[in-house]
Amino acid sequence: MAKSDSPALRSPEWWEIRRLEAAGCTADDWEQVMFGPDTDFSLIRNVAFRGQVSVSGLRRRPGRPDAGIDSAVLENCSIGSDPCIRNVGVALRGYELGDDVTVVNCGLLEYEAEAPCGVGTQVNVLDETGSRPVSIYPGLSSQLAELAARLPRWAETTLHPLVESHLETHQLPGLIGDGARIVNTRLMRNVFVDREVCVEGASELIDGAVVNNAAPGRALARIGADVKGSHFIVEDGSVEGGSVMVNAYVGQGARLDKGFTAHDSLFFANSNCENGEGCALFAGPYTTTMHKSTLLIGALTVFMNAGSGSNQSNHLYKMGPVHWGIMQRGVKTSSGSYVMWGAKIGAFSLLVGSHKMHPDSSEFPFSYLFGDERGGTIVVPGIMLRSSGLMRDEKKWPLRERRGKRKMPLHDRVNFEVFNPVTVGAMARALPLIAELRKRPADDDRFVRYKGLKLRVSNLERAARFYSLGICKYLKTKLGDAPFPHSDAEETEEWIDLSGQFVSRSCVDRVLKAPTLRDMEAILTDFFDRYTELEMEWIATALRDWADRSPAEIEAGALEFDRMVEEDRKGYLESLADENAMLSLF
């Protein structure tokens, strides 16, 4: 562990040993304690050296006025230049420290040889019984993680062997990197701490890694006060405020805070989770939950916002907690909402009340979903399209990007558009479905039933208009005054939202057949970079029925859509003004 083979290091001379002993230092064997030539022995006090220990150099300089080693137990460790190590009550054992490392007021910091440091931990996401494990490692993207969770047979036969092969040459050392700070931490065992990472006030960290990919001076990675964690990776994310993580990955720009508990869960780009609990949660980019009484369990989410008291059930007391569900992009849940998995909630929908009949509203994006007195789901399709909040969402998400100015490689690819080939494709497919459902006779309660959903005919008629206006708005935004694009392709290719990135089925097929992890990521990155071009090709095939409509008709629909949204905005502001007037002091 010590750098005893370095020609620059040497054992202390007899007079240096006497000086160290006079300053309260002891050693099992001074021959195994090595110092660099640039060492000021007056800066070492009350230190117990056990086993092989090396210190590359120790000087106080303008940029490092607090350098020194005082009141610490150092055991079988290697220390770089100019450390600040003070009050390590139990031991600093087995670690290699970089330059300018700070370790102050800590208990036990221990690294055991060849410990995995959280790398390769299998996170039992979605299905708690472990049938959909995702192996975590530095560099894991939300896209590959979703494929692993959604395609467990492919993951078992193809992905997991590739991950294991990758990890054979990418294991993390027992390192506390240059400029790292470990302060007021009670126990840290087998945790890799990257350069410039701050671990401050952590309670107990076991088998993990805190990885920093940012440029010097711009680190995002951080562990804060009272945090407990085991079998975890925090990569360019932060975990603070008494949060607990067990079998977890916290990705770039993601935050756990204010006592959030995460068990067998994954958190990707810019997710923000506070107070509540995530269990077997796949929190795709921009998942947000802020309330103490909220439990997200067995859910796959992206751009989701959970209201207080949101809850789900994944255990129907028959075969164990094997049930799970999907909340597509932009779903919001109201206070006290409940879903019994399995279920699939369509994009940009608002979920209100209790839903126990395993609804699938994915064919009706932009909807209100109300739970009735028996746990059924009443759908008002398309009604969210008139909400001014949609356009606000599209603008606010890029502003909440924590990764952008850090000059680091971005693992998760994120498209922000509300109108895109996935949501617009769903609206286009919904139009003929709505026409078919309108022909069906309503039941005695005046509802038409479809896939566990209850729909009123009058709401279906209105949804057809809203969806048509939404498609006009999309085409006007994308095409402007340009002619409708042309394609010779006969079949329309479906696109999916792969944890924040819009991709075609053929792109996914190529990823599944790629021979290495690097190739898989490269295919996804290429598609992301060519998104604008590929989107135009999709418009040419998927919306070719709209090519016969005149530009004036498309523009008129887009303008009507804008007027509808503006009316909603004005109505909301007027209502807000009335409320403020009612509540005013004078």
Could you tell me the domains of the chain?
Answer: 1-110 (no CATH), 113-342 (2.160.10.10)
Structural contact between residues 302 and 284, judged by C-beta atoms closer than 8 angstroms: yes
Helices 517-529 and 531-542, packing angle to 10 deg: 70
Which of 237, 239, 171 is CA-nearest to residue 204? 239
Region 488-501: mean pLDDT is 90
Model confidence pLDDT, tens digit, residues 2-50: 444 455 899 999 999 999 999 999 999 999 999 999 899 999 999 999 9
Beta strand ranges found along 82-179 (DSSP E): 84-93, 96-97, 102-110, 122-124, 133-135, 175-176
Within 8 A by CB and 6+ apart from 281, the residues are 125, 262, 265, 266, 267, 296, 297, 298, 299, 301
pLDDT band at 405 (very low <50, low <70, confident <90, very high): confident
Residue 406 has pLDDT above 90, yes or no: no
Q: What is the pLDDT of residue 63?
A: 86
- Average pLDDT of the segment spanning 455-465: 95
- Predicted local confidence at residue 60, as pLDDT: 92
Q: Which of 210-224, 326-340, 486-500 has the lowest mean pLDDT?
A: 486-500
Q: In this predicted structure, what is the pLDDT of residue 3?
A: 46
Q: What is the pLDDT of residue 4?
A: 44
Average confidence (pLDDT) over 289-298? 94
What is the per-residue pLDDT for 143?
Answer: 98
Give the mean pLDDT of 255-280: 97
Predicted local confidence at residue 315, as pLDDT:
84
Averaged confidence pLDDT in the chain: 94
CB within 8 A of 91, min separation 6: which ones? 50, 73, 74, 75, 108, 109, 110
> Is 416 in contact with 394 (CB distance < 8 Å)?
yes
**Which has the higher per-residue pLDDT, 585 or 239?**
239
pLDDT, mean of residues 380-406: 90
Q: In the chain, pLDDT over 90 holds for what percent of residues?
A: 89
CB of 122 closer than 8 Å to CB of 134 = yes
* The pLDDT value given to residue 210: 98
pLDDT in tens, 518-541: 999 999 999 999 999 999 999 999
- What is the sign, positive or negative, of the torsion defined by CA atoms of 528, 530, 533, 534? negative
Which helix (H) or strand (E) element contains residue 231? strand 228-235
Give the pLDDT confidence of 103-141 residue by residue, as tens digits. Answer: 999 999 999 999 999 999 999 999 998 999 999 999 999
* pLDDT value for 248: 98
Cis peptide before 342 (omega within 30 of 0): yes
Q: Which two tokens stand for residue 117?
A: 């440091």
Say how far apart CA 201 and CA 186 lie, in whole Å: 8
First CA to last CA distance, the chain: 73
Alpha carbon distance 314, 338 (integer Å): 11
pLDDT in the model for residue 7: 54
CA dist 301 and 343 (Å) reads: 12
Q: How confident is the model at residue 1 (pLDDT cuts 50, 70, 90)?
A: very low
| Region 356-366 average pLDDT | 96
H or E, element range at 144: helix 142-150
- The burial of 454, by beta-carbon neighbours within 10 Å (0-12 exposed, 13-18 middle, 19 or more buried), is given as buried
The pLDDT score that the predictor gives to residue 169 is: 86
How far apart are alpha carbons 23 and 161 in whole angstroms? Answer: 54
Pick the more confident residue, 89 or 1. Answer: 89
Write down the pLDDT at residue 6: 52
Poorest-confidence range of 5-9, 246-250, 554-558? Answer: 5-9
486 CB-near residues (< 8 Å, 6+ apart) = 540
What is the token pair recorded at 406?
């850090």
H helices present in 362-489, as ranges: 389-399, 421-439, 457-479
